[in-house]
Amino acid sequence: MIFTWVWFVYFFTFNYCCLFLGSCLNNQGFALLSFKQSISSDPEWSLSNWNSSDENPCSWNGITCKDQNVVSITIPKKKIAGFLHSSLGSITSLRHINLRNNKLHGDLPLELFNLQGLQSLVLYGNFFTGSIPIQIGNLKYLQSLDLSQNFMNGSLPKSLYQCRRLRTLDLSQNNFTGSLDFGFGSGLIALEKLDLSLNQFSGSIPSDIGNLSSLQGTVDLSHNHFSGLIPASLGNLPEKVYIDLTFNDLSGPIPQNGALENRGPTAFIGNPRLCGPPLKNPCPSGGNARNGSSSFPYLPGDSPPLADDVGGGKSGKSKGLSKNAVIAIVACDIVGICLIGLLFSYCYWRFCSCKKGKDGSGKESRGKKECLCFRKDGSETLSENVEQCDLVALDLQIGFDLDELLKASAFVLGKSGIGIVYKVVLEDGLTLAVRRLGEGGSQRFKEFQNEVEAIGKIRHPNIVTLKAYYWSIDEKLLIYEYIPNGNLSAAIHGKAGMISFTPLTWCVRMQIIKGTAKGLAYLHEFSPKKYVHGDLKPSNILLGENVEPHISGFGLGRLANIAGGSPTLQSDRMASEKQQQLQQSAPSEVPTINSALSLGSCYQAPEALKNVKPSQKWDVYSFGVILLEMISGRSPMVQVGTTEMDLVRWIQLCIEEKKPLGDVLDPFLAREPEREEEIIAVLKVALACVQTSPERRPSMRHVSDTMERLIIATG
């Protein structure tokens, strides 16, 4: 209703100018002013000289005319917000529309597709929604369609295949669904660029896609749900074309012909059911990857046909087990179960019966248990009486008591909003890391005990092990295994004051990436409570003797809150006190603390700012930022001229500006050119992890599987 009224006002003004002033803006200018009226924000005043006092709009910003007719609207990267007005469809001479990287939203107006002479429609990097109308088939002269980086959905209309002059089709980073129908390759025969990545496309890849003989660069079908076999016709594409099929649901042998022959494994990662070269995952017998056969490999549990059954065997009977064989198998199972039961009973008696003291009284030594009994999950706790057993062991191998711990040598490792961490060396040489959680009341002991015991059950080679804890009214301690080689942040960037620093090789970085992904996937999917870390960053990834990663710090926020202090409040208080000190001493140093405070937030997912409940996709985003940091060697805040931007935005900017890979890579990695394909593959995983929308990020289990296959594939 509002826009109908606006249209009427412009129409009245238009006629008033014509009748009483003798000069007026032509119909094309009138249509453009209607578009200007639909713009709600124009912070850079890009449309400031669009006004009705001109006879035609040919001198307006972003407008190009030919023979006094508007042929082009080009207003990129001006931050204009609003929607596309249907009036643009009345500018019949319009050939080019370029409104990329703005803040436009809403559906594409149907009237836009009445412009039969339109040659390019470039709208990427906006907030458009809705689907592509079937009327797109009217654009017979369309050569470039770029709708990437929007929020569009729906399936591709078959009428798109009528745009036979289309050279560029980029629909990446949207929410398009459905399948690509047969006719895609036969209709769009002029395509030179094809990018459908990071959508929700499904179904099989059309078999006629090999007809796209004009394609150049990369054909990107990655990060979708394409399934079934890779069509052998895909190999008919020009041999210089790079085909990216990563992160789909494809299966079966990889055809080895034409453009698919001698391809590296990085083009196929993220498809666990693919087999054959170049992957180190051999196809089951009968699968023929060399000729692109369409035969399906049988999976475990599916019996291949027996020779006697093909074409009618001699007996015609199935080869099932006999009755006596079934009885024998059942009997063996029963005997096996009995043996396991006896073994378990022996272990329970041997290891779980608490030993009596030497005096035979049954009393335990002060502050120390001789053993730990099996216990039930849930409300039953490891120690019902904390006063008699101050140091509670969570590890059967614990052989020290509280007195030994308190007498040991201790060195401060670090301080944070969640207490102080000490390196503690016992008399027998055992080294531990002890975190003091601070002082708090004892009213929430049971809650603390349940939480800490759940964390203590987690055992994984890439997660720091919590070995014991201590609780009293005045002191709360968490005792961890000690990890000797510092943290990942220091390994990437070096320590302050370090004289010499040797950057990590790509092989070592991949080892750390793989281990961290495994540890996170375990926390998310297999730990007792399916934990969310919530504060993953390089300083929380510790490195062991062989530079293997150990994730630390998960669950600390909740434990600190239960123990009597909010880690968030403590951090804020410490930062506030520090900032006051800096302001009193040297005002010029204040920005330093501000930068330090913003550093941690660089690893937080965008949705974390809304104070919603943490989700596993928060950790995926943080992991993606860490990957970018390891690939680029840069800090999470990047200095660009006189301004700072976060690492994710800087990487995206480099990609938008099509900068060479060398500008993004850590210079040290440039010495390993043979690893370039692998680095690019990891970069793509990182970009998938740092998607703004949580739903579009992969799970850590998926990421971990991908890293595992990537390492196997590249040897």
The 3-state secondary structure of 54-114 reads CCCCCCCCCEEEECCEEEEEECCCCCCEEECCHHHHHCCCCCEEECCCCEEEECCCHHHHH
The mean per-residue pLDDT over the stretch 385-400 comes to 64
Over the Cα atoms of the chain, what is R_g?
A: 33
In this prediction, residues 178-198 reach a mean pLDDT of 91
**Residues near 26 by Cβ (< 8 Å), separated by ≥ 6?**
55, 56, 57
Planar angle of CA 242, 247, 252, nearest 5 degrees: 85
What is the reported pLDDT for 281?
80
Q: Delineate the domains of the chain, giving CATH numbers in brackets.
A: 27-275 (3.80.10.10)
Residues 6+ apart with CB under 8 A from 29: 52, 54, 56, 57, 60
Using one digit for the tens of pLDDT, what is the confidence trace for 298-318?
223 333 333 333 333 333 434
pLDDT of residue 65: 92
**Bond preceding residue 278 cis, omega within 30 of 0:** yes
Average confidence (pLDDT) over 613-635: 92
Is residue 146 helix, strand or coil?
strand
Flag whether pLDDT at 427 surpasses 90: no
Let me know: does 230 contact 205? Beta carbons within 8 Å. Answer: yes
584 Cβ neighbours under 8 A, 6+ residues apart? none
Token output for 18: 């014509």
CA distance 432 to 480: 6
DSSP string, 255-286: P-SGGGTT--GGGTTT-TEEESTTSS-PPPTT
Mean pLDDT for 139-150 is: 93
Contact of 193 with 170, CB cutoff 8 Å: yes
Instruction: Name the residue with higher pLDDT: 714 or 363.
Output: 714
Q: Average pLDDT, stretch 327-347?
A: 63
pLDDT at residue 335 in the model: 63
Residue 660, amino acid: P
Q: Which residue pairs, CB below 8 angstroms and at least 24 apart, start in 403-407?
A: 403/367, 405/432, 405/434, 405/470, 405/479
> What is the maximal distance between C-alpha atoms in the chain?
117
Look up tokens 């099989």; give the residue. 204
When pLDDT is averaged across residues 179-188 and rounded to a whole number, the result is 90
Of the pLDDT bands very low, low, confident and very high (cuts 50, 70, 90), residue 584 is very low
Reference 27, options 75, 93, 83; nearest CA is: 93
pTM here? 0.51
C-beta separation of 114 from 141 below 8 A: no
Find, among 43, 145, 30, 160, the residue nearest to 97 by Cα: 145
> Among this protein's residues, is 535 annotated catalytic?
yes
User: Which region among 242-246, 496-500, 622-626 has the lowest average model confidence (pLDDT)?
Assistant: 496-500
Q: Does residue 2 surpass a pLDDT of 50?
A: no
pLDDT tens-digit readout, 595-607: 333 445 788 898 8
**Is residue 181 within 8 Å of residue 209, measured between CB atoms?**
no
DSSP H or E run through 630: helix 616-632
Q: What angle do CA 343, 348, 350 make, to 5 degrees?
A: 90
CB 183, CB 162: distance < 8 Å: no
> Could you tell me the two tokens for 678?
């692998």
Catalytic residue among 42, 170, 244, 535: 535
Residues 685-702 have pLDDT tens digits of 999 999 988 888 888 988
Q: What are the pLDDT digits (tens) for 258-272?
A: 878 767 777 887 888
CB 480 within 8 A of CB 464: yes
Question: How big is the CA angle at 106 (ends 105 and 108), to the nearest 5 degrees?
Answer: 110
Count of beta carbons in the 10 Å neighbourhood of residue 46? 20
Q: Chain centroid to CA 398: how far?
A: 38
Q: Element (H or E) spanning 117, and its range?
A: none
Tokens linked to 217: 């660069």
Q: Could you identify the residue written with the tokens 């937080």?
A: 604
Cβ within 8 Å of residue 105, ≥6 positions away: 81, 82, 83, 126, 127, 128, 129
Within its chain, how far is the Cα of 593 from the centroid? Answer: 29
* Strands 419-425 and 431-436, sheet pairing: antiparallel
Helical packing angle, 556-563 and 445-456, nearest 10°: 160
User: pLDDT tens digits for 227-265?
Assistant: 999 999 888 888 788 888 888 999 999 888 887 876 777
Neighbours of 63 (CB within 10 A): 21
With cut-offs at 50, 70 and 90, classify the pLDDT of residue 572. very low
Distance, CA of 417 to CA of 423 (rounded, Å):
18
The runs of H, that is alpha helices, within 494-555 are 506-525
Phi, psi (deg, nearest 5) at residue 254: -90, 120
Among 2-16, 470-484, 492-506, the minimum mean pLDDT is found in 2-16
